[in-house]
Amino acid sequence: MTADRAPAPSGARVGPGSHLLVCGGAGFIGSCFVREILAVRDRTRVTVLDKLTYAGNLANLAAVTNDPEQAARYRFVRGDIADPAIVGPLVAEADAVIDLAAESHVDRSILDPSAFLLTGVLGVHVLLEAVRRESERAMTGERRDADGRRRPAPRFLQVSTDEVYGSIEEGRSAEADPLAPRSPYAAAKAAGDLLVQSYRATYGLDVVITRGANTYGPYQHPEKLIPLFTTNALQDLPLPLYGDGFQRRDWVHVADHAGAIAFVLAHGKSGEVYNVPGGGERTNREIVAELLDVLRKPWTLVRSVPDRPGHDRRYAMDGTRLAALGWRARVQFDEGLEETVAWYRDNEAWWRAARGPEWDDYYSTQYRERFAASVAAPPGPATRTADGGWAPDRDE
């Protein structure tokens, strides 16, 4: 699956041969970004800085390390973005810093927000301080390459999320809309997003921000909706649908999300925020019905469980600004979902390893009581009938 990543034209801030520091590059979206960037074979070098939390997985980068040409342009450093001693020298080497490092699961942020704040607020601050220092060194002429030539300040790209806008019952969030996060995850992401904007306003750093929609595709940790329901269904385990299942999300394929990040890195206007919508708005019930169809599994696996506290009803973004820059998503949702579900079916060793020892504790804490209080989910994939009942299921 190819992403829309046009070659950098003249005037692009970052282009072929650049050295990128990718924070969180062993995670779901970060590893896709790294795989796609290195597969272009345009001399770009990548250093991944990743703490390897439960969500970080070096197997996601096997395509890079198994390819000698790509491996020669790639380096992995295990470390925390909140550690200035590790971050400082890596930012000094880099032409651009792309920050995807985060605790990324809303349900875990409800169980314990602390790690979300450490990485999402303090970690972003440490990265920004290092970029600020390099920007000052660029101004004074101290920042130079091995041949003594002056180097420009590094560009900083923060990967933010549509969740910073909060729940949008109607219409679409535009970049200038106020931020109204409602979960600890979203609040930490909003804090990081605003911190980046403050460093632009106060210190004049070269920053860009992307706010991506719900992302799906291969290599996503099985805690998230689509891989959780797919891997549970493959094992004939129950699928825990929160509340009525009519919450709506806009879904973007991971290759499109990674492609948009690369595009904004190269072409984005300094100081600007760019929404990255997917064009695949669906209710959770529609998603579940669709993935069960692909797997030929029955709706009877679906259980209605008590809702997530503070559950955002809908996310939807306006993508005009990014479209005007020349980017559009390429993967149609139905095709992307079918391919994604097939990927999990065909890569059982990957998801079984991701559902390792840490998984059992998490799963039991998160779902044991919910399943105890669950009921069979009313059939009908998508719609309530006019009288408030449920439409009949397509397949039953």
Active site residues: 162-163, 185
Pick from 14, 159, 191, 241 the residue near ligand NAD by CB under 6 A.
159
Rounded least distance, CB 56 to ligand NAD, Å: 3
Decide: is 123 part of the binding site for ligand NAD (CB under 6 A): yes
Residue 241 interacting entry, from ligand NAD, ligand TYD, none, C-beta within 5 to 8 Å by type: ligand TYD
Q: Pick from ligand NAD, ligand TYD, none: which does 24 bind, CB < 5 to 8 A by kind? A: ligand NAD
Nearer to ligand TYD, 47 or 284 (CB): 284
Within residues 332-371, the interface with ligand NAD by CB under 6 A covers none
Short-list 222, 218, 188, 186, CA closest to 308:
186
The partner in contact with residue 101, picked from ligand NAD, ligand TYD, none with C-beta cut-offs of 5 to 8 angstroms by kind, is ligand NAD
**Binding-site partner at residue 119 among ligand TYD, ligand NAD, none, CB < 5 to 8 Å by type:** ligand NAD
Span of 18-26, 106-114, 143-151, 355-363 interacting with ligand NAD by CB under 6 A = 18-26
The string of DSSP codes covering 93-110 is H-SEEEE--S---HHHHH
Cα separation, 186 vs 194, whole angstroms: 12
From 50-58, 290-298, 321-329, 379-387, span contacting ligand NAD (CB under 6 A): 50-58
The dihedral formed by the CA atoms of 285, 290, 296 and 297, expressed in degrees to the nearest 10 = -20
The number of angstroms, rounded, from the C-alpha of 115 to the middle of its chain's C-alpha atoms is 17
Cα dihedral 263, 264, 266, 271 in deg (nearest 10): 170
The size of the chain, in residues, is 396
- The residue (of 23 and 38) whose beta carbon lies closer to ligand NAD is 23
Of 124, 95, 86, residue with least CA distance to 37: 95
| Residue 82 interacting partner from ligand NAD, ligand TYD, none (CB closer than 5 to 8 Å by kind) | ligand NAD
Angle at 293 between CA 289 and CA 299, to 5 degrees: 50
Q: Examine residue 205 and tell whether it contacts ligand NAD (CB under 6 A).
A: no
String of b and e for 149-172 (b: at least 16 CB within 10 Å)? eebebbbbbbbbbbbbbbbbeeeb
CB 267 within 8 A of CB 321: no
> At its nearest, how many Å lie between ligand NAD and the CB of residue 17?
25
CA distance 86 to 149: 25
342-377: buried (b, 16+ CB within 10 Å) or exposed (e) per residue?
ebbeeeeebbeebbeeebeebbeebbeebeeebeeb
Rg (CA), the chain: 21
Q: Per CB under 6 A, does 27 bind ligand NAD? A: yes
Residue 259 near ligand NAD by CB under 6 A: no
Judged by CB under 6 A, does residue 215 bind ligand NAD? yes
Token duo for residue 374: 């669950």
Interface with ligand NAD, residue 281, by CB under 6 A: no
Question: Which chain residues interact with ligand TYD by CB under 6 A?
Answer: 106-107, 214, 224-225, 228, 240-242, 247, 249, 284, 308
215 binds, among ligand NAD, ligand TYD, none (CB under 5 to 8 A by kind): ligand NAD
- Measured CA to CA, the distance from residue 272 to residue 312 in angstroms comes to 26
> Is there binding between residue 95 and ligand NAD (CB under 6 A)?
no
Provide, rounded to whole angstroms, the least separation between the CB of residue 296 and ligand NAD: 27
Q: What are phi and psi of 195, to 5 degrees?
A: -60, -45
The residues of the shown chain that bind ligand NAD, judged by CB under 6 A, are 23-24, 26-30, 49-53, 55-56, 80-82, 100-104, 119, 123, 159, 161, 189, 212, 214-215, 221
